[in-house]
Chains A and B, each alone.
Chain A
Amino acid sequence: MSQLLETNSTISLNRVHKAGDGCVALVLHAHLPYVRHNEQAERLEERWFYEAMTETYLPLLDMFDRLERDRVPYRLTMTLTPTLLAMMDDPLMQLRYERYLSRSVELAQSEITRTAAQPELQAVADMYAQHWSYLLQRFREWDRSIIPQFKRHYEAGHLELMTCALTHAFLPFLKHSALAQAQIEYGIMEHERHFGVRPDGIWLPECAYAPHLSKLLQQSGIRYFIVDQHALQQAEPMPVNDTFVPITTEDGVYAFPRDAMSSHQVWSSHEGYPGDPDYREYYRDIGFDLGWYDEDEWNYIKPHLLADGARINTGLKYYRITGSNGEKQPYCPEWARARTVDHARHFIHSRIQQLRHAKDNVTGIPIVLCPYDAELFGHWWYEGPQWIEAVFREWHEMQQQGNQTLSFVSPLDYVNAVPNVQQAEMSMSSWGRGGYAEVWLQEKNDWIYKQLHKAEENLLTVLQRHANDWGYSTIRERLANQSIRELMLAAASDWAFILDADTVPSYAIERTNHHLERCQILLHMLEHGIYNLTELEKFEADTPCFPNLHYRTLLDAMTNEATKTLNSRSNSSTSAAPSSSDHQLMLSSLFAYIRQQLPTSPSQQDANDRNSLTQNSAWNKKRILMLAWEFPPLVIGGLSRAVYDLSRYLVKRDCEIHIVTREVPGTPLYEKMDGIHVHRVPLAPSMTEIGFMDWIFQMNASFTICTDALITEGIHFDFIHAHDWLVYLAAQDLKEAYQLPLVVTIHATEHGRNHGAIHTDMQQRIHEMEYELTQKAEHVIVCSQAMKREVERIFDLPPMKVSVIPNGVECVSTISSSAHNHSPDHISLPIRSTDIDNIRVFRSTIAKPEDKIIFFIGRLVYEKGVQVLLSSLKLVQERVPNVKLVIAGAGPMASELKRLTAELGLSHCVHFTGFVNDEERDLLFDITDVSVFPSLYEPFGIVALEAMGRGVPIVVSDTGGLAEIIDHNHDGYKALCGHTESLAWHITDLLLYPDKAEQFAKQAYRKVTTLYDWDVISLSTRQVYEGVIAQ
């Protein structure tokens, strides 16, 4: 094999390097959409194939044979697209074509009789009769298989063969690059099946290129492709050799530009060769000409038209183009043949001129690449194959005369011979009208893309979801393969092209819808495990093409795409550009990631199965959707930490927790934290101002879209646990959509935050959402008895519906471990810090050694009561002058509190730290003499527990959850709520009597470690869940 490659490479080298002025590559793109119709032989569209066989493919092969026979060297490149090959390879199509050609011969023979009175026409009829009889004879000699004939010429080294995307899809318009990669790879596989080798080149359908295709082509081992000329003219950097030397993409794939001038000479219907008056006129076919005024004539031609009498081309065309005016004159084959020779000479002469001109301006060997639709030759331009023959014969003669001016090569020869060309980046382009995509995307055909893209999504989703349960069911594999086949057939660029040209739009619409519909039916079967074999067999029988198409190829492409998306995300996350990241893309990359990460195979059980399972008394592992607007590392209030701690302890109690929360810059979209599945949903940032409630809406909408996607991925939930009104919309929507039970934790109420008064519209709105949320919920959890009373009262909730489960706290270990001391009376304080020096240094930055430190931590909002603490500090100073107050936290009231501090003359002894992290908070606890929590409203008071867990003596205000935590004068002090003097007195007492303070701290620590243990709390929560499921 390597020897063969080497030989080919040497031949290529000679071909290219022996060219005096440069190279010419003739490229024919032979393509027809897949127009096989199993049950209907008389489809107009199926005749496209038969006509092309008679007029193009067989004449080309015959021409190759003549050149070979006469030892005329030629070098031509062709694409035979997979759909065309599939029809050429199809026994039914072969049989039908033989019948078609036989009838054409019969018609031509009967035409000899009919035209007896018109000798000039009769001669033409005779020409057709002889030509077609000859082709029929050859077709039969080849056992109706013409692919081996192309292969023979390929193997002889005269014909270079390229592949094409499987169904000729307009690749830039496929939504997922996995589908583009699969189109390319399946095309390559078909090529290999027919010709025994993987191709070096690809014809991108419609020469449509987009930058993302470069990598895909390179990954498939493609070495070259063809683009329109302007793709190179617009490339960056601008190619130094104009369009006479190909460039490579950034992935090293050669891009050959179509030569516009030679293209014009052949394509143009007016100035081009095919418009010559001596050439055959395409538009005068007896299928259209006969039977207008004579019934006998109509009866004569009718059997050769469509069954419904619709007129069609029979191939019998008697006239030459003649002139632009006057009556058409009979066709004279000899004259036409003479013109092909003239035109061949003209073509070669023009190329020589072109190359000579180019040679002066380019470095390296110039190449003119002339690509054409193969069907132009023979079908439209009847003499086209003769012209090609004449070109090569003329070239041969020149060479024999010693004229080595130009060399006919294939692009592959050039790639082999010229290993280094300029690299440049090309934009999207095509060879269609306008140079871009307006043929395939405009008002007449734009509707197809939404349908196609939806089918893409659906296909990829279903395939991915079942990626792990393939391999044992042939039927499932067949369903998957056929669904891909149908989608790809629907995506052929031909349908959009036909809609643009308005030739047979109903057929294009029918074909698009037909394949999409079948794709959906198949995916539906796969998804639901209900297989209609009869239907599957019918679909397969209707499209017996691409037998090697296997879903694995697409799955591999999907993995490749997911990896690239993730890589591009991780790259982009390094730049501070969250706004440019696209919402949908991020969501899809999130899901791609989830697919890879989640170990659990998706549940195949439907809702009924799951319900019956829940009837079992035993607690099967439950999957819980937690909706929380904040989650670590995003910590704003106590909710984030509480949800995190609860979740990780629930994980230990046979719960599978999925948190849906919002994205935090710099953190992964999905991660597993302590066994918790955390899905962080990106929110599309607004470029212009929106209202707060708009933002809430957007967040909730994103949560629902994310959850839908999770569920679509097969992650079915047993119930929802929502935290606070901020996720009300999503909770309510998902509950209704999936009929899931809802548990709600109310961490605080708007009513409470505003001291029982709802003033503004916003407050009213929040209050209403809280009300609705608790009404929709099967069960409501609150953190204190005070909150229970509050929610029962303001939300009209029956006591049975509300449970009190306190928040927990994690404590540091004690100084003397329990192994050393078992006495229940002995209470130890926790280790506040082992690094005493570090503490001393830190303390010295805030206070003098003799100073006493009071510490507040919390959000700087009104209900936290910091303003009360500041006022009482004045009173404390009266008895404890050397006191410092440290205020840690951030919030909307920060500047107001600072102003108040200054007004009270306390600036010298009050220190605002701003927001502190957990580590800084613990350091502050460690230097604190008394922690104070002077809240006016406090549903729970987690920071008080944290202080207690750190061994810090505390004073709280006698309100809400705080009041329930502290036993007054036993493990702390409760001051009257909002009462400056009461607060000052209790703080002063603890500062003046450190022994008492230490005793309180020890008692408080014991309470925290027994009552507010997360293990206990998670058990209580699971009991609530069990109760809800039992309902």
Chain B
Amino acid sequence: MVQPSINNRHYTANQSNIIHLMVQQPTVLFGYWEVSKRLKSLIERHYRSSWHELRRVARLYQYTYSESDSAPLIYYDAEVGNSESWYFRHVVPRHRYALDYGFINHNHQFVSLLRSTLVGTPRNDPDWIVEVRHESSTIHECSPSDSQHQQYGQSNYSPFQQFSTYTLYSDN
């Protein structure tokens, strides 16, 4: 491949923060991603941790097929290590999915870096059933308690109630 010239910063800058989710079959999705060196160094600077020391996770959100539903039903976490692509072999036909790629912070919380577009899995026909192969991944129900997005959507404020303009006030 042709490498862009060194001084062509703009070219390189836009090249590598990507994530994409593809449907292989009703029960299998394939996602790939790439995080730019700059974004990695931004993370390293902010989290004071080397990129390679962070636990990297691909999180697959499952939605109902109907577009009117906004909240995901469930999500799957796959610890992907250094991998830049993943097969999700346990998905459900006729559902919508979106993929996040991110890492686990020092408080064991998932911080998303990239989010894919939503894709829909086809309906499944019994004649076409493909053997489901389970990957090592953890599955979580999305409960209101761990979902902040609704609150976020209703307010112009940050998702942190104690945050006001410039700093984070304590609860006291």
Contacts and interface: CB of A to CB of B under 8 A. Distances in A.
A211 B118 CA distance: 13
Contacts of A555: none
B148 A230 contact: no
Interface in B40-60: 41-43, 45-47
Contact of B130 (A434, A513, A893): A434
Contacts of B82: none
B153 A665 contact: yes
B89 to A, nearest CB: 11
Contacts of A580: 63, 67, 69-71, 98, 118
A437 B23 contact: yes
B88 interface: no
Interface in A693-733: 693-695, 697-698, 700-701, 704-705, 708-709, 711-712, 724-726, 729, 732-733
Interface residues of B, number: 91
B138 interface: no
Contact of A729 (B23, B45, B122, B168): B45
A687 interface: yes
Contacts of A585: 117
A684 interface: yes
Nearest to B128: A435
Contacts of B105: 690-691, 694
Contact of B46 (A435, A450, A584, A693): A693
A517 B41 CA distance: 28
A891 B164 contact: yes
A576 interface: yes
A222 to B, nearest CB: 22
Nearest to A429: B122
A230 to B, nearest CB: 5
Given A449-B32, A634-B156, A689-B146, A520 B2 contact: yes
A52 interface: no
Contact of B122 (A234, A524, A747): A234
Contacts of A686: 110-112, 148-149, 159
Contact of A230 (B9, B11, B127): B127
B20 A688 contact: no
B76 to A, nearest CB: 12
Contacts of B38: 704, 733, 737
B70 A441 contact: no
Contact of A687 (B8, B23, B147): B147
B158 to A, nearest CB: 6
A954 interface: no
Contact of B158 (A234, A695, A724, A747): A695
A517 B25 contact: no
A709 B163 CA distance: 29
B166 A753 contact: yes
Contact of A704 (B4, B18, B39): B39
B137 interface: no
Contacts of A634: 156
A685 B25 contact: no
A398 interface: no
A606 B156 CA distance: 39
A732 B38 CA distance: 11
B149 A582 contact: no
A10 interface: no
A709 B14 contact: yes
B17 to A, nearest CB: 6
A859 interface: yes
B153 A579 contact: yes
Interface residues of A, number: 101
B156 to A, nearest CB: 5
A783 B151 CA distance: 34
B136 interface: no
Nearest to A749: B166
Interface string A6-49: 00000000000000000000000000000000000000000000
Contacts of A329: none
Contacts of A750: 166-167
Contacts of A607: 7
A689 B152 CA distance: 12
A577 interface: yes
A724 B166 contact: yes
A732 B42 CA distance: 9
A862 B61 CA distance: 40
A795 to B, nearest CB: 16
A928 B109 CA distance: 48
B167 A766 contact: yes
B139 interface: no
A531 interface: no
Interface string B1-15: 110100111110111
Given A664-B156, A665-B153, A449 B42 contact: no
A692 B75 contact: no
A578 B42 contact: no
Contacts of B69: 577, 580
Interface of B: 1-2, 4, 7-11, 13-15, 17-20, 22-26, 28, 30, 32, 34, 38-39, 41-43, 45-47, 61, 63, 67-72, 75, 84-85, 94, 98, 100, 105, 107, 109-118, 120-125, 127-128, 130, 140, 142, 146-150, 152-153, 156-170
Given A583-B114, A691-B105, A892-B169, 16 more contacts: A234-B122, A446-B30, A457-B14, A457-B18, A461-B14, A579-B72, A580-B69, A639-B165, A687-B72, A688-B109, A689-B148, A692-B160, A694-B111, A695-B158, A697-B46, A861-B165
Interface of A: 172-173, 175, 211, 230, 233-234, 236, 427-429, 434-438, 441-442, 446-447, 449-451, 453-454, 457-458, 461, 513, 516-517, 520-521, 524, 527-528, 572, 575-580, 582-585, 606-607, 630, 634-637, 639, 664-665, 684-695, 697-698, 700-701, 704-705, 708-709, 711-712, 724-726, 729, 732-733, 737-738, 747-748, 750, 753, 760, 762-763, 766, 859, 861-862, 891-893
